[in-house]
Chain A
Amino acid sequence: MNELIEKLKVKDEWALKEVMKMYKGQIFNYLLLMLGNREQAEELTQDTFVRVYFKAGSLRTDNLKAWIYKIATNLALSEFRKKRIKNLFSLGDVNEINYSYDQKLGENIIIEEALSLLPEKYKVPLIMKEVDNFSFEEMSDILQKPVGTLKSLVFRGKEKMRSKLEVQLGGNNG
C-alpha cells in the first residue's frame, strides 16, 4: 500500500488505475446513497479520482481509503450547498431527489427514500458508519468532528431513519 501511495504522489497513472480499481465502487455507492442520483454520483466519483491524482502530492496519511472518502465527502457537501442555493431560488420541492436507476430491491428503495429525507448532518455520518463501516475515529478524521458528536449524530440519525421508515411502511401498508 505504501508503494502505491508513493507512486500516486508522483502522479503515476498505473497507481491511479489501481486505486480506482480498489475504491471506485465503494465511493460510487457512497455518493449514490448521499445524493440519490446516479449521474451526479458518477460525475462526483470521477471528480474524486481527478482530485486524488492532483492532490496526492500533499497526502500526509497512510489511510488512503479515509483520505479518498474525505475528498468524496467534501465534494458531496459542496453539491448539497449548491442544491440548497438552487432550491432557495426555485419553487421546487426541497427534498426532491431523482432516482434514475431502475433495477433494485424494494428494501433498497425504502431505505434510500428515507435516507433522502434525512438532513445531511445525520445522513453523512450515518452512511459512513452503517454502510461503509468506518470507525468513529476514522470518521472524526474525515469529517473533522469530535467522536462524541459523531456518535450522537449517528444515534439520532438512526432514530430519525426509523421514524421515517415507519411512516413510509405505514403509508405503503395503509
Chain B
Amino acid sequence: MDSREDIFKDYIKMEHLNENFEESVFRKIKNKKRQRTVMISTLGTFLLGGFLFISGTLFFQGNGDQLYTKSENSVREDVTITDNVIFAASDESNNYVIEQVGNFEEYGTI
C-alpha cells in the first residue's frame, strides 16, 4: 500500500442509478410545486381571514359607539303608573330604563 502514489487510482466508479431516476425527480418537483401552491393558498386565506376579522371588529366597534350615543340621545318619555306616580323612561326601543320615581301628591315633584 505504501507504493501507492494515488490512493484512488484504482477506484472504479461502477454504481448506476435506477432507470426511473428522472421520473422520480419530476414527480418530486410536481409535489413540491403543489405543496407551494397549497401553502400560498393557505397563507392567503389566513391573511384574508385576518383582514376581514380585524375590519369587522373595527366596523362593529364603531357601530357600538353609535348605538350607545343614539340611546343617550333618545327622547325621554314619562310613563304614568297611577294618577300620582310616574316614572321617566328613555330609549325608543323596548329596553326601558327606570330612572326616577316620584309621588306628586306628597312631594309635588322630584
Contact = CB atoms under 8 A, between A and B. Distances in A.
A166 B18 CA distance: 35
Contacts of A50: 25, 28-29, 32
Name A's interface SS.
helix
Contact of A104 (B14, B18, B29): B14
B32 to A, nearest CB: 6
B15 A20 contact: no
A17 B29 contact: no
Contacts of B8: 111, 130-131
B7 A130 contact: yes
Given A42-B21, A46-B21, A54-B32, A130 B15 contact: no
A69 to B, nearest CB: 15
Given A50-B29, A54-B32, A20 B22 contact: yes
Interface stretch (A1-9, A142-150, A157-165): A157-165
Q: How large is the interface on B (under 10, 10 to 19, 20 to 34, 35 or more residues)?
A: 20 to 34
Q: How large is the interface on A (under 10, 10 to 19, 20 to 34, 35 or more residues)?
A: 20 to 34
Interface in B1-56: 1-2, 4, 6-8, 10-18, 21-22, 24-26, 28-29, 32
A165 B11 CA distance: 13
A29 interface: yes
Contact of A46 (B11, B15, B24): B24
Interface string A31-71: 01000001001100111011001100000000000000000
A15 to B, nearest CB: 13
A166 B1 CA distance: 7
Contact of A45 (B2, B7, B21): B21
A24 B21 contact: yes
14 contacts: A17-B22, A24-B22, A28-B15, A29-B13, A45-B17, A46-B28, A47-B28, A50-B32, A107-B10, A108-B14, A111-B10, A130-B6, A130-B7, A162-B1
Interface of A: 13, 16-17, 20, 24-25, 28-29, 32, 38, 41-42, 45-47, 49-50, 53-54, 101, 103-105, 107-108, 111, 130-131, 158, 161-162, 165-166, 169
